[in-house]
Structure 1
Amino acid sequence: MQVSVVPQYPLALGDDELFNADEYDPTRAYGTDRTGFAAVHERFAADGHNIHTMDVLSPTEADAVIFVDMDFDVLDRLLDLSPSRRPAFVYLMREPPSVRWYNSAAELPRFATVFDAVVTWNGRLADAHGFYEYNIPQYLEINKGDLPSFDDRTLLTNVSSRKYSKHPDELYSERERIARFYDEYHSEKFTLHGRYWNDPPRKEDIYHHMKLRPHTYRTYGGVVDDKIAVYGHHRFALAFENMTGIEGYLTEKLFDCLRARTVPVYWGANDVERYVPREAFVDYRKFGTPERLHAFLDSMDAEMHRAYLEAASAFLKSGTDPVGPSQYAETLYTATKEAQESEWSAPSASLREEIRARGLLKRLESRPKSLSKMECVAGLLGAVRKYPAMVRERPSAVLESLKCVL
């Protein structure tokens, strides 16, 4: 079996870069997932199958194609193939709906009709629609370096990029709410790191979110190369997922804190205690406001803090590994094998037309030179006429199409 993987982020391409897990580096594309992808590569190879990223093995030459979140351009082109040439389609849901709208409980089942198999961390979706369920793989090696004493640690840090979302359950704004509280009232007890915090607003932030003059932080310490080292110099670290109100969505944000031997202040997956014992983290849901959280954190003594760290260490050393790469690899392998054996049915005419329009907009954004001027004009006018809201979502597609014509 020849398997081609279509990642959402182009930086994961290049000589099977996606499967390179020689070191844990969360700054790389899918850097936190690479132990899982390396295990996937090993699992397929163990049974004599080849799996490569799409730049090494073209999706049109594959027996099966794994989409890591949606690429409407590639999907549109593959749907144009004759049934005898069409590979099996596997959809791997990675990002939450606050980041990728099509991964919502309302949208994913609609697009799932195009795929032979869907693999998701959302257990409710898996149970309701017959999808495969997996746990996001994590790197669990404990940092063994020397750390400052309790008294020498700063109280709290946040290491994340400044982002925005219109999703009602997003947590970007909650991170910023806490950061602003500490910046204004307890700046000596807080540090802020990550991209975009004190930068001028990006074009997409202005267009989609009207962020013309975002707050500037005096506690901002810039981008860091090693957040594990930063965490180790703080008693606590914010570990807020991109959104809440869902099950199964646990990312490196929580586990990096545990590994770094700092206590995470967590908010995200509703079922977090299914994976990590409650004694190992501070549950922000119990407080609800920055003021109440601060009162709790600032009053904690060294003994109680040590109890949290010991609970985290015991969990990491326990051998109980619900987020290990092996289960991830086995689930994706099984889904891909069974997808090849399933009977595929073509999408409805309306869904096929929508995918075609979204594929065109993706091409206009990412590779407009692949289209003629006539295709740019006709495609954009057709999308504006039939899907005006879709076009408003992608202003860069409009800009690139105008460049193509002019």
Structure 2
Amino acid sequence: MVARFRLRVAVVVAAASAALVLSPATMPFAAGQVPGGTATPEESSDATPAYRADASLDSSVTCATARPPYRHLWSRDLGTMAGGPLTVGDRVFAVVNAAGPDALGPDLRLVGLDARTGKDLWPAKELNGTEANATYGGGLLYTQTMSGLLTAWNPMSGAVVWHTQLDQVNTHWWAYPPTWYKGVLYTQGGSTSVTTAVRATDGHVLWNTAMRDTGQTPVAVDAQGVWVAHDDITYQLLDPATGKERRHYNLPPYFDGGGNTPALAHGDLWLLGNIPIHLTDQVTAFDERTGSKLRSFPASSTPAFDAGHDYITYQGVLKALDAKTFATDWTYTSPVGHATVRLVANGYVYVEDADGLLLALDAANGRTAWSVRVAPAPNPNGAINEVPDWMFGYSVPGIGTAHGRLVVPVGGSLVGFGPAGDVKHAAPVRITAPPRPR
């Protein structure tokens, strides 16, 4: 594939935000803490406040307490699609498509549930548009629609805190949730492609930076800076304070990548690339400090990580690689040739297998510690689709955990699991095959 390469230097100005003032008494903050500015204790550990767990997009949860086996706590049928849940303390938040299977278009809503019971915390909030996502940070909940409407919500009451309309002239597809990091929301939109930093306390746009590639992508952030990657074709490292480019990498002559999720782990930037750029789908690790390319591995999805392992899947085979030597410590093989790691927490690797099972594998040896069927077994004579690890339908996938619980999206439902004592397997979850997004 021969593609173009263009450098854009125009700076795009986003629309001004409108802020509302809320009483600290109605918010989950310590005295003197500004909503949105500093991470609260309950979101800083044993929580999944973001897509792929946190700002590094590594799918690993710090200080998680959930441990199999589990029992089925509750199920909520919320429509035809439930996105990856955000779990903070005893609360669950998600973007869902509340439309019925025969609807002509989506009816996207933000829901807040009690993680203990599955009951509503507040009435669902309507979100305009055909795609939307959510994230959590600094004690506030945020949604972003495909058209770039960024909204902060009070997670306790569901009230709007502020709105900001992101650039609509040069960027037409804000496909991924923003990434909250130290009081700032970082987000990227595709088309002519812009990365934007927004102050999380009031919605004020801090900077816009034109990207070198056009696709849409999630943004990863750590102490090194803001990482914006379009597959493994190109990446840019931006200064978090100014948006100025610190480093740039490009794989000539390719252009117009995007969609695959980057991840930061063990001091490396991991980027997934696909055929026809490469002979096989593969993931490549780059040294964050030097930018040098370290290793590439066959991969069907962006890896997940914990302190000691890189978890890489390819054509249904999950390999647990030693984080220092890249030696394979153990493997898991899907019976139908497709599987994706959704979460790594408290010494367990949670795998969504295309055969309809959700499994918790022991991170030490790969043995199945617990499993539950969350979808019907596929027809062995029919096509079996790969389990996506990024966009599907109207939102992004994922599994949430906090306070010893798991929250799993299953078609249009969210299902809560909790500690099961000495029960080996969770009670069966009654699930029908979800309809295809229209």
Which has more helix, going by share of residues?
1
TM-score (norm 2): 0.25
Relative to its length, the structure with more strand (as a share) is 2
Whichever of the two has the greater Rg, that structure is 1
